[in-house]
Chain A
Amino acid sequence: MAKPQRKKKAWYKLDNAAMMYSAIQRENYSAIYRFSAVMTELVDPEALQRAIDKTMPRFPTFRVRIKRGVFWYYFEPNDAPGPFVKEDMKNPCQPVRFWEDNGWLVRFFYYGRRISLEVFHALADGAGALTLLRTLLAVYLRERGWAIPNTGGVLDITQPPPAEEGEDAYFRYAKSRVRRGMGERKAYQNTGTPEPFYTLNVTMGLLPLDRLRAAAKGYGASVTEYLSAVLIASILARQRREGRRRELPVALAVPINLRPHFPSRTLRNFILTVRPSIDPELGEYTFSEIVSQVHHHMRLHITRQEMQAVITRNVMLQKNKFLQLAPAPLKNLSMALSYRLVGCRPYSTTYTNPGAFPVPPEMAPHIQRMEVILGQSYTPRANCASISYGNTMEITFAGTVKETDVERDFFRHLVREGIPVKVISNREE
């Protein structure tokens, strides 16, 4: 048998966000998220596997494994067989282990009418993963005999992948003269009773987008701002119930897609977080005051100039000579420690809203709704994420906590505002 010729593998560096996600990686924690499409018909796993095999070569930034160099992790093309579609399970978004499952950092699942894609955050952000999922769904529907064009964000899998899709866009835009950093106050931690190892409680709420948009408009806010405000109000109420003597600010980490602000075609990470917050020590806030606070915070801070200053600071940090020369294990340890001590402490939870999932009109009748799950958090608390498709807004709370009080208050608030909510969950009753 002839030995397959060893090609020189084209490795590449992790981007700024990926570095953080891989450094804080542990045996029982990884930054994983999942996007699912609920189709109108039962999923055909064989057609789905064929679609995956055809689609993945078009997305080289997802066909990688992560390796540890002496100083930094790096990505290397993964030529192992797979990834293989698997039957879905009750506890999604399990941590990855870099040496298991042939080193794959993406996973595909099916359950009934649901097709799910799980991605390790070091590979790509939500926008990149949704491009992969949209293209995969188009190829899958073609396998099922439908004619789907390469329009509306579906990539042409017969074309070679352009290099711009694999660029580290942070690097390109780290050109600001000023470096702006964090140094935020500690926020209320919103933790609860942890569930046993590898349990992820998922609760989803489904609501009509037009009613939600109308409610948000009633407060002069966007849907993201409005839902962030509802979430902050729910967490404020929880802190109040705990009866602390001194209350801490409630702050959200809201990732912002940078592509609309800094043109880039990258499918890798290109996000920053903003931090809307409410400090209850300043006094009582009515709900409309919270909405207005969140609205103005977002409008004030999501500016090209300010975000560029933060990007520059983050990239410069990674170019720091001391940090560069520290061996990788030491770096991981110190980054994990500083993340534990500083990184997740300024936030009460994460709320991410990739917004609408557009598809070409030919695909629309085959998809019923979209779903998103943020995997487990570093500490026992629930994360929130939402995605809309057509007129269905889907909001997910996922976490490794037993308590349901934040999501209960959140959805009850929406119901009180006249928005009908349907709730589904994987919790045991």
Chain B
Amino acid sequence: MSYCVNCGVELDPTARACPLCHTPAVNPNQPVDTALPPPFPSRREEVQPVSKKELALLLSAMMGSVAVCCGLLNLFFLHSSRPWSLYVIGAAAMLWIWLVPPLVLRRMPLWIRLGLDACAVGVYVYLISIDLRGLDWYLGLALPIVLTGGAIVMALGLVLSSGRSILTSVTLIIGAVGLFLMGIEFFVDRWLTETYQPGWSLVVAAVCVALMVPLIVVRRRPALRDEVRRRFHL
């Protein structure tokens, strides 16, 4: 019989190491028995995660048929001069991208998902701009705003998905909102006047910073954090 030199427990003759402390079992008089069956089976049974394929298929069929029907109606019957069906088709495509990939690809990282979602919004706005013949405002204003928003949400998702405290999350979200609004003003200014004179967004950003500073202080001071937790506990 071999014993763990660390724990003093007897080990199974088939054990290469102590299951409690992982110290290798070294016994010159009795090497590890590889012929004996181990105390537990080594065959792992893999369980298939519940498949959401049916739901994904149903959603795809619904969106697809709505898009095709509207497209046909638009082409042959109703107001064929205006591509109004692009609104419906775009909405269906956007919903599809939002809902279906997460159902089918459950291992998809959150930031890829958020990036895809932002792209879907961009594509939808593009389809709208086709109808309104507004490619210039799309490229100059809408696309930059959507991309900035998407990038900020992606970064936020990446940071928050690794499990932050409520205080940290709230601080980061407020910061992200401030940043996004500053981005909007930058693009709006550049689109309208081709200059950048920060105005209202600086006020909002200042408010955000004013909100964030106490939160950071509370986060850093354990005594304060405890106090807040005590008063606001659920």
Contacts and interface: CB of A to CB of B under 8 A. Distances in A.
A203 B45 contact: no
Interface SS of chain B: loop
Contact of A424 (B19, B22, B42): B19
A420 interface: yes
Interface in B24-60: 37, 39-47, 49-50
Given A27-B50, A94-B47, A415-B9, A89 B41 contact: yes
Contact of B43 (A87, A94, A411, A412): A87
B19 A412 contact: no
A391 B22 CA distance: 28
A111 B50 contact: no
B15 A424 contact: yes
A29 to B, nearest CB: 12
B11 interface: yes
A281 interface: no
Given A420-B10, A422-B12, A423-B19, A87 B41 contact: yes
Interface string B104-147: 00000000000000000000000000000000000000000000
A175 interface: no
Contacts of A362: none
Contact of B45 (A94, A95, A112, A415): A94
Interface string A182-226: 000000000000000110001111000000000000000000000
A88 B41 contact: yes
A90 B39 contact: no
Nearest to B17: A429
Nearest to A97: B50
Interface in A375-429: 404, 407-408, 411-412, 415-416, 420-427, 429
A334 to B, nearest CB: 15
Contacts of B11: 422-423
A426 B40 contact: yes
B21 interface: yes
B19 A245 contact: no
Interface string B1-19: 0001001111110011111
A91 interface: yes
A95 B49 CA distance: 11
Interface string A320-359: 0000000000000000000000000000000000000000
A89 B39 contact: no
B12 A412 contact: no
A237 to B, nearest CB: 14
Contact of A429 (B10, B15, B39, B44): B15
Nearest to A245: B222
A192 to B, nearest CB: 14
A422 B9 contact: yes
Contact of B19 (A88, A91, A416, A425): A425
B20 interface: yes
B17 A89 contact: no
Contacts of A415: 7-9
B9 A90 contact: no
A21 to B, nearest CB: 19
A203 B40 CA distance: 10
A8 B20 CA distance: 53
A66 to B, nearest CB: 17
Contact of A91 (B37, B45, B49): B45
A246 to B, nearest CB: 8
Nearest to A112: B37
Contacts of B15: 424-425, 429
A189 to B, nearest CB: 15
A235 B169 CA distance: 31
Contacts of B17: 429
A404 B18 CA distance: 11
A422 B10 contact: yes
A424 B40 contact: yes
B45 A421 contact: no
A227 B39 CA distance: 24
Contact of B42 (A90, A202, A204, A411): A90
Contact of B40 (A90, A197, A198, A412): A90
A243 to B, nearest CB: 13
Interface in A45-69: none
Nearest to B234: A341
B223 to A, nearest CB: 10
Nearest to A88: B41
Nearest to A201: B19
Nearest to A89: B45
Given A415-B7, A422-B10, A111 B19 contact: no
A408 B40 contact: no
B19 A404 contact: yes
Interface in B62-89: none
9 contacts: A27-B49, A88-B41, A90-B41, A94-B45, A412-B7, A421-B9, A422-B10, A424-B40, A425-B19
Closest 8 CB pairs of A and B: A425-B19, A426-B40, A89-B45, A408-B20, A422-B10, A424-B39, A429-B17, A415-B8
Interface of B: 4, 7-12, 15-22, 37, 39-47, 49-50, 222
Given A27-B50, A412-B8, A421-B10, 19 more contacts: A89-B43, A89-B44, A90-B43, A94-B47, A112-B37, A197-B47, A197-B49, A205-B9, A245-B222, A404-B20, A408-B7, A421-B9, A422-B9, A423-B9, A423-B10, A423-B12, A424-B15, A425-B40, A429-B19
